Copies of this chain bind each other. A is one copy, B any other.
């Protein structure tokens, strides 16, 4: 069969990695795909920068439009990142009848509905495996591998930087800011770490996972997002003593009243496999009605892991070039006319268990007041541990684990407890999921 021609927009980390993998594994890829894939053009920021030897035969240009408009190119790999220019280029390429592979989670989370509709109209596809959890084939697993299931919930460690920070805090008893600084030096975290540590990056990915799991439109603006910057060493330690680890999870769950989409620090039992996913690694745990729990683990970022996902998409797209569009895997796993609007719940409406930590006066009656407030809000307690270390005000830390409770009830209870004279300062609250 004749070779397929591709053009890469952006030769940065992922673009460069993809060029390398395509070249190094060309024979292996052709043995699988049954035809060769030829990289013919790439757009770059600096045309004079020295590029690696495998790009000798590739036409380099400063203008991505040239590639998007080139009638000799079949498939465009959008690897420039960002949302404005990327969206413009992708829509233009679709208009030109080109197939797209992208690693751009923000682009898909924010503009995917519009992009997929355009692709649908033109009869092309937009593949985006690399947008979630790097090299882990999680989009494929959910869209195709679990096609026989009703998915109940999924929970993922989908930001490597955040997981690296939490792992270091636990393993070495370090503080958040200290580890963040190291992560920046190691290149795991950006100079502005907001996207990673405040959960925005994870929320982009969760948006995509929720859509393909439940057949709902992409709706990033409805994801509840809470970062890890306020997690302290003390909470990591207390959690450990109680048999839990704190992980920054993206969670999507279908319940009777609607759909939960949330990113927040979460205590999970340390024996769960996902609790043992450490460092910069990612993992997604999916609970589905027929198969039960399945978990997918691997590198969530990096040049070659992302390239692995891009090339897998590329092979899929090549194979489906001649398939009638109605028989292709739908972009969001469900046929476009079968996408449903399910109400997304606000956090007030979500039920989880909680870890609470507060400073209380070491005197009789304090516990009675607190447990009375819980009882009034229908909150049942799993464990209470009072620590010995007194602070300057002669108060001691009290750690409480609750059973599942409606978040709105918990917020009322927290407010009431904070107003007790025997309790000083704010209460730390971290959600807890058993993931069972």
Interface residues of A (CB under 8 A from B): 1, 17, 21-22, 24-25, 28-34, 129, 134-137, 140-141, 144-150, 215, 271, 273, 276-277, 288-299, 302, 304-305, 307-312, 314-316, 318-324, 326-330, 333-335, 338
- A147 CB contacts on chain B under 8 angstroms: 29, 32-33, 311-312, 315-316
The 8 Å CB contact of A289, one of B25, B277, B334, is B25
Max chain B CB contacts within 10 Å: which of A135, A290, A295, A315?
A290
A145 touches B312 (CB 8 A): yes
User: Quick one: which of B34, B140, B328 contacts A326, CB cutoff 8 A?
Assistant: B34
Taking the closest CB of chain B, its distance from the CB of A136, in whole angstroms, is: 6
* Known contacts A307-B290, A323-B322: A215-B31 contact under CB 8 Å: yes
Given contacts A25-B149, A25-B289, contact A328 B319 (CB under 8 A): yes
Q: Please state if B31 and A312 are interface contacts (CB–CB under 8 Å).
A: no
CB distance from A148 to the nearest CB of B (A): 3
* Least CB separation from A339: chain B residue: B31
- Name the distance in Å between A74's Cβ and chain B's nearest Cβ: 14
Give the CA-CA distance A134 to B327 in the complex, in Å.
26
Closest 5 CB pairs of A and B: A137-B145, A148-B311, A135-B291, A294-B298, A291-B308
Beta-carbon nearest neighbor of A319 in chain B: B327
Q: Give min CB distance, A99 to chain B, whole Å.
A: 14
With the chains together, A33 CA to B322 CA distance in Å? 18
Q: In the bound complex, what is the Cα–Cα distance between A334 and B141 (angstroms)?
A: 20
Which of B1, B21, B32, B328 sits near A290, CB closer than 8 Å? B21
Most buried by B among A29, A148, A288: A148
Given the complex of chains A and B, what is the CA–CA distance between A299 and B295 in angstroms?
10
